[in-house]
Each structure stands twice: as C-alpha cells, then as structure tokens.
Amino acid sequence: MLRGDLLPIGEVASRSGVAASAIRFYESRGLVTCVRTPGNQRLFARHTLRRLAFIGAAQRVGLTLEDIATSLATLPPDRAPTKAQWARLSRGWRARLDEQIADMEALRDDLTGCIGCGCLSLATCRLYNPQDVARSRGSGPRFLLGDDPDRFLT
C-alpha cells in the first residue's frame, strides 16, 4: 500500500465524523486495522472510511459490535469490498432488519393503547389485562412480546 493511500487517525476522524477514541476502540475490537509508522503513528487505508460508515449505520439500526464484527470478517481486510460483497452482506441482514422493523411497529402501535388510559399498569389494567391474566403466559411484557390481548379478554 502506498503511503499516499494511508491516512492518519486525525484525518480519518475528521473525514468520517467518528471520534479518534472510537476509531482506536474499533481497532482494538478488530473492526478496522491500521499500520504503524516507526514513530508508532496509526495510519489507516482509505477504505477504512467505508468500514466506519458501515459500522455507524449498523449501530444506528441496533446491531451489536459482535454482529458487526462477524459481518466485517466476511469482507477483505486489505482493500475496499466489491459491490457484490457489500450486496451479499446486506442481503444477510435483511431478515433481521425486517424483524426489527416489525417489532418497532408493534411497539409503536401498542404503546399508545398500553398507556393511553393513564393507568400505566398491565397488572391492574381492566381493558388489556383483567385480573392479571397475562401473568399465566410468563414473565415480561407479554403483549409487546407477541401475545394477543384479545385471547385474554375472551
């Protein structure tokens, strides 16, 4: 790799909008790599900017660093991935993202009904959970987890 293809951490931080401390953290987790100068300065390949953008986008949709690392491990570490490689990676996330979208829509739609009356308690809610019948289905927010409130009212 030519020295002109390498960027110091400050420039990578400036161009990517990611703090240098975060870049160093990602490096420690193996999400990005660098080379070191004889003076121990970190230099990053230009394609690191794409990896950082990818990490940021993945985090915004709720993926963990472990998930991100697993995905990035399928890409070449020493060059920018091809369009086909990015497409393959994104196809692998589609089902998970669709599931997250469905969960978020269910939360959005049910949240108003849950707290709309002001009681803020499924244990005492006469509409959605009379006599705390949802307790029989297990712990946690049963209706937000997918249990049908209509089954409890009949």
Tens digit of pLDDT at every position of the chain (154 positions): 445 689 999 999 999 999 999 999 999 999 999 999 999 999 999 999 989 998 998 898 888 999 899 988 888 877 888 889 888 888 888 888 898 888 788 777 766 655 555 555 555 565 556 666 777 777 776 666 777 766 655 5
Cα–Cα distance for residue pair 59/41, rounded to 1 Å: 27
Q: Are residues 51 and 14 in the same domain?
A: yes
For residue 78, what pLDDT is reported?
79
Q: Are residues 120 and 73 in the same domain?
A: no
Q: Are residues 54 and 117 in the same domain?
A: no
Residues with Cβ within 8 Å of 67's Cβ and at least 6 positions away in sequence, in order, are 58
For residue 2, what pLDDT is reported?
47
For residue 56, what pLDDT is reported?
92
Q: Are residues 2 and 77 in the same domain?
A: yes
Q: Are residues 77 and 99 in the same domain?
A: no
Q: Are residues 77 and 7 in the same domain?
A: yes
For residue 88, what pLDDT is reported?
87
Q: What is the total count of domains within the chain?
A: 2
Cα–Cα distance for residue pair 41/10, rounded to 1 Å: 11
Q: Are residues 34 and 62 in the same domain?
A: yes
Note whether residue 5 is domain-resident.
yes
Question: Do residues 31 and 20 make contact, with C-beta atoms less than 8 angstroms apart?
Answer: no
3-class secondary structure per residue, 80-145: CCCHHHHHHHHHHHHHHHHHHHHHHHHHHHHHHHHHCCCCCCCCCCCCCCHHHHHHHHCCCCCCCC
Structural domain of 51: 1-81
